[in-house]
């Protein structure tokens, strides 16, 4: 089994590693973009949008990130949201 995981970031940091096991590839990917990244068609992006992972070989992105992210609650703009329509908190507790 050969799995190649490539990481790139917006500040031009590039890392490519090859692994013989899924566990090693998963650990590298999770360290680069976290356990619950945003998933694209053939890549995964960290939550802050800085890093991107691609994978080739005997594994897929679904193998590296098998668990979906937990629901963080209602979406921005919904009636139950704690944010106003501009994305600011409704309460002034942050002042």
Can you give the residue ranges of every domain in the chain?
Answer: 3-64
SS3 of 12, please? coil
14-19, strands of its sheet edge to edge: 14-19, 3-9, 51-57, 44-45, 38-39
- Residue carrying structure tokens 């995964």: 44
Report pTM: 0.69
Residue 81 is predicted with a pLDDT of 57
Please name which of 93, 92, 91, 19 lies closest in space to residue 56, comparing C-alpha atoms.
19
pLDDT tens for the chain, residues 1 to 95: 899 999 999 999 999 999 999 999 999 999 999 999 998 889 999 988 899 999 999 999 999 998 765 555 544 444 555 656 666 666 655 44
């Amino acid at each position: 089994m050969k799995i190649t995981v490539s990481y790139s970031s917006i500040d031009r940091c590039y890392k490519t590693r090859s692994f013989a096991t899924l566990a090693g590839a998963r650990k590298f990917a999770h360290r680069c973009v976290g356990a619950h990244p945003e998933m694209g068609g053939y890549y995964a992006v960290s939550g802050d949008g800085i890093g991107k992972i691609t994978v080739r070989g005997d594994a897929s992105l679904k193998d590296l990130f098998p668990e979906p992210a937990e629901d963080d609650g209602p979406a921005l703009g919904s009636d139950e949201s704690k944010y106003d329509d501009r994305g600011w908190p409704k309460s002034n507790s942050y002042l």
